[in-house]
Amino acid sequence: MDLKDKLLSSFLAFENNVDLDHPVHEVRSEAIKNFEEKGFPSKKEEAWKYTSLNGIQKVDFSIFPKKENTLEYKDIKKYFLHEIDTYKIVFIDGVYSSYLSETTHDGVDVCLMSAALTKPQYKQVIDVYFNKVASKDESLTTLNTAFSKEGAYIYIPKNKVPKKPIQIVHLATGNEAALMLQPRNLVIVEENAEVQIIERHQSLTGNEVLTNSVTEIFAAKDANVDYYKVQNDENTASLIDNTYISQKDKSIVRVHTFSFGGKLTRNNLNFYQNGEYMDSVLKGVTILGEKQHVDHHTLVHHAEPNCESHQDYKGIFGEKSTGVFNGKIIVDRIAQKTNAFQQNNNILISDKATINTKPQLEIFADDVKCSHGCTIGQLDEDALFYLQSRGIPKKEATALLMYAFANNVLESVRIPELKTRINKIIANKLGVRVGFEL
Amino acid sequence: MLEIKDLHASIEDKKILNGINLKVNAGEVHAIMGPNGSGKSTLASVIAGKEEFEIKKGSLALDGENLEDLDPEERAHKGIFLSFQYPVEIPGVSVTNFMKTAINASRKARGLEDMPANQMLKLIREKSEMLEIDRKFLSRSLNEGFSGGEKKRNEIFQMAMLEPKLAILDETDSGLDIDALRIVANGVNKLRGKDNAIIVITHYQRLLEYIVPDFVHVLHDGKIVKSGSKELALELEEKGYDWIKQEAIV
């Protein structure tokens, strides 16, 4: 049975465990129909030209884990940003781990999607927000919607700021030979509220894992959202991350994606601007080796005047790794005075590494500032000479320059401990002899 | 110390140096002057080992050892230092961390252990005070957002930290106001000694009032067309370079 058929038959089993009378189930039923019709995207589709899901579909994934697993915090501590106090929503093989988590209802809700989708007190919010910005058309998003049951639910009311950042951590134990996970997150940040979220998917063994995740983020007027995605997974773990963001007037949403590992990673990051004077920030650092593959597909849709977007993705590709950057910017006819910037710079450090980069600008307004730049290159010879002339050997100088190249993107990271951690991962990946504190 | 004989160098088949002869002994300061495009910066880069330049003819030796086959870092380990006209920005690496990396790389090449942290800090404090560099400056990313003057002062700070045998200062005076020039020159003068030598590359005589050279050479079309004492610099300041060019043609 191929993966699509397995998923379709699993949906019937899934229905035995959810409330079929809940309005959300209607949404799920619609979604599975869409997936049934469309199936997995193929390379024939323009958006999937450089990323093949054929290999993944041949794996016999378990759709639901057979038993609950536990982990000791000391064994997995390193996957958390443990240097600071945070709220934590932790899942082991897709199942919530209350032991490892720290949720709250103190002024803000940092809890579980399963609660939000079933308990009456959340019904109003779910009615207004659930599946309202996620695509009802894109097949993998609808696949996730069909199976939506568990994930993180974060609700920050007007003028509130949580006491600390929130970590969403998905751990895969490898107790199944191959496991498919479909977390569904909903983040609502009301007027003038703020939140900082760090998300990580981590496989703990060499067993196959496929995660098809959907996150919806709603940023109301004057809201401020920082979302950090840390992707440094095992070479047998694949991730399809679908993130949809709806922004209102004067809000700022920044999404940083740090891609350092995994077998296949696809980031579909979609920003929809519905208001004026807002800023969407999309930043990424990608450092790959071996046969790793990362595909960044971004969309920023400017639908009203006087808004900005800033995209800056840096990539370093070694060995046989492959990268894709496809950045689409749409500026509607009424969205005058839009400032949309997009930058994608890549360095190939191996003859066998590949990068495909494509800016896609659809601009219908005439009074806008849009700039884009894609570069694929080697390191600056003058810079290399400068470092060598100070006695730093070429190999170390090269690593140091790549570190500087990637580091540039981290300026906008607003959690200092996270910035340090990412810096260390970058230094490590590049083999920089950091005989110094970062 | 440095001996250059009939040096010809090209970049992408464009000849830039056309037979340079220069001998620099320990304890000496040499100034190299000349109009734009005469090959001054190329000469500096060739001595420091920039790969883009190809040596077509002639030789280049430090303390009798041929430099031609040495990488830039190996030349640095032997005591050559180039203060860049346009220092490169390195985001994310602080001045302090960069200096630690550079010093320890040189020590490693000489078979020494890393410099102990307290010794390193003492050295940094001492040299930064000498160049009137603020402590906060040292934790900034190397050259990133530095003003022209800050970059140059930082170059001389690096020179002070690395204590080279042969320092080449390429247009160190450009971008410096008179106060900064005095501080930088003062720093350079403190590094003068009987065991090391300095080559100062400059357009103007101004810097040479502060770093007084033993010899002045005029470069034109990739050749040294005139050498003399420090008075030659004054003459050039007064008359410009045209009379030298004329002489060269004759």
Q: What is the rounded CA–CA span in Å between residue B207 and residue B195?
A: 22
| CB within 8 Å: A386 and B87 | yes
Above 80 in pLDDT, residue A225? Answer: yes
Above 50 in pLDDT, residue A403? Answer: yes
Q: What is the rounded CA–CA span in Å between residue B138 and residue B115?
A: 18
- The size of the A-B interface in CB pairs under 8 A is 90
Could you tell me which chain A residue has the CA closest to the CA of B120? A436
Above 60 in pLDDT, residue A215? Answer: yes
Exposed e or buried b for every residue in A221-243, given b needs 16+ CB within 10 A?
bbbbbbbbbbbbbbebbbbbbbb
- Per-residue model confidence as pLDDT tens digits over B131-155: 889 889 999 989 999 988 899 999 9
- For tokens 């307290």, what's the residue? B118
Q: Which of A391, A408, A434 is facing B105, going by the closest CB pair?
A: A391
Cβ neighbours around A25 below 10 Å, total: 16
Whether A397 and chain B come into contact, CB under 8 Å, resolves to yes
Above 50 in pLDDT, residue A438? Answer: no
Mean local confidence (pLDDT), A89-102: 96
Above 50 in pLDDT, residue A171? Answer: yes
**Average pLDDT, rounded, for chain A:** 95
Residue count of chain A, please give it: 438
Write the DSSP string, A170-181: EEE-S-SSEEEE
Tell me the angle at which helices A416-430 and A394-407 cross, rounded to the nearest 10 degrees. 150
Identify all chain B residues contacting A387, using CB atoms and an 8 Å cutoff.
Answer: 88, 90
Instruction: Select the highest-mean-pLDDT range: A138-147, A422-431, B103-112.
Output: A138-147
CB contact at 8 A, B116 and B98: no
- In the sheet that holds B223-228, the strands lie side by side as B80-83, B166-170, B197-201, B29-33, B215-220, B223-228
Above 70 in pLDDT, residue A287? Answer: yes
CB contact at 8 A, A44 and A51: no
Secondary structure E strands in A173-292: 178-181, 184-189, 194-203, 208-219, 224-231, 237-247, 252-259, 264-273, 279-288
Residue B225 belongs to domain spanning: 2-249
State the nearest Cα–Cα gap between B231 and chain A, in angstroms.
Answer: 32
Q: What is the rounded CA–CA span in Å between residue A179 and residue B84?
A: 56
State the nearest Cα–Cα gap between B98 and chain A, in angstroms.
Answer: 9
Q: What is the pLDDT of residue A154?
A: 98
| CB within 8 Å: B91 and A390 | no
B185-188, long-range: CB < 8 A, 24+ apart: B185/B210, B185/B211, B186/B210, B187/B130, B187/B131, B187/B156, B187/B157, B187/B159, B187/B160, B188/B156, B188/B159
- Per-residue model confidence as pLDDT tens digits over B49-77: 999 999 999 999 999 999 999 999 999 99
- Per-residue model confidence as pLDDT tens digits over A240-253: 999 999 999 999 99
Mean local confidence (pLDDT), B231-245: 84
Whether A159 and chain B come into contact, CB under 8 Å, resolves to no
| CB within 8 Å: B101 and A433 | yes
Q: Which of B90, B100, B105 is facing A393, going by the closest CB pair?
A: B105
Whether A391 and chain B come into contact, CB under 8 Å, resolves to yes
Candidates A197, A285, A196, A290; CA nearest to A237 is A290
Q: What is the pLDDT of residue A435?
A: 47
Q: Name residue B219's beta-bridge partners.
A: B224
Q: In this structure, is the dihedral angle defined by the CA atoms of residues A428, A433, A436 and A438, taken in order, positive or negative?
A: negative
Q: What is the rounded CA–CA span in Å between residue A340 and residue B182?
A: 46
- For tokens 């800090």, what's the residue? B121
- In the sheet that holds A95-96, the strands lie side by side as A95-96, A87-92, A166-172, A194-203, A224-231, A252-259, A279-288, A308-317, A339-348, A369-377
| CB within 8 Å: B105 and A423 | no
Mean local confidence (pLDDT), A325-342: 97
Q: What is the rounded CA–CA span in Å between residue A264 and residue B43?
A: 50
State the nearest Cα–Cα gap between A402 and chain B, in angstroms.
Answer: 10
Residues 6+ apart with CB under 8 A from B246: none
Q: What is the pLDDT of residue A437?
A: 46
Confidence of residue B234 (pLDDT cuts 50, 70, 90): confident
Which residue has better confidence, A132 or A398?
Answer: A132
| CB within 8 Å: A391 and B88 | no
Confidence of residue A433 (pLDDT cuts 50, 70, 90): low
Q: What is the rounded CA–CA span in Å between residue B53 and residue A398?
A: 20
Backbone angles phi, psi at B187, to 5 degrees: -60, -45
Q: What is the CA A361 to chain-centroid distance, rounded?
A: 22
Q: What is the rounded CA–CA span in Å between residue B154 and residue A62?
A: 60
Confidence of residue A436 (pLDDT cuts 50, 70, 90): very low
- Per-residue model confidence as pLDDT tens digits over A183-196: 999 999 999 999 99
Q: What is the rounded CA–CA span in Å between residue A71 and residue A79?
A: 13
Q: Which of B73, B92, B103 is facing A394, going by the closest CB pair?
A: B73
Q: Count H helices, E strands: chain A?
A: 10, 20
Quickly list H helices, A154-296.
none
Mean local confidence (pLDDT), A12-32: 94
Domain count, chain B: 1
**Would you call A366 exposed, middle or buried from its count of C-beta atoms within 10 A (0-12, 13-18, 19+)?**
exposed
Q: What is the pLDDT of residue A315?
A: 96
| CB within 8 Å: B88 and A380 | yes
Q: Which of B48, B82, B104 is facing A435, going by the closest CB pair?
A: B104
Q: What is the rounded CA–CA span in Å between residue B81 and residue B158?
A: 9
Reading phi first (left if > 0) and then psi (alpha if -120 to 50, else beta), residue B221 is in left
Listed by start position, the domains of chain A span 3-274, 382-438
User: What value, to the nearest 5°, has the Cα angle with vertex A8 and ends A5 and A9?
Assistant: 90
- Per-residue model confidence as pLDDT tens digits over A343-381: 999 999 889 999 999 999 999 999 999 999 999 987 888
Q: What is the DSSP letter of A47?
A: G
Weakest mean pLDDT among A94-103, A125-134, A338-347, B30-39: B30-39
What is the domain-level CATH number for residue B55?
3.40.50.300
Tell me which H or E stretch contains B189. helix B178-190
Range 320-339 of A in CB contact (< 8 A) with B: none
Strand A87-92 to strand A95-96: parallel, antiparallel, or no bridges (unpaired)?
antiparallel
ipTM: 0.94
- Per-residue model confidence as pLDDT tens digits over A263-272: 999 999 999 9
Mean local confidence (pLDDT), A279-305: 97
Above 60 in pLDDT, residue A34? Answer: yes
State the nearest Cα–Cα gap between A438 and chain B, in angstroms.
Answer: 8
Q: What is the rounded CA–CA span in Å between residue A295 and residue A241?
A: 10
Weakest mean pLDDT among A162-176, A318-332, B174-188, B207-221: B174-188
Exposed e or buried b for every residue in A63-80, given b needs 16+ CB within 10 A?
bbbeeebebeeeebeebb
Cβ neighbours around A323 below 10 Å, total: 28
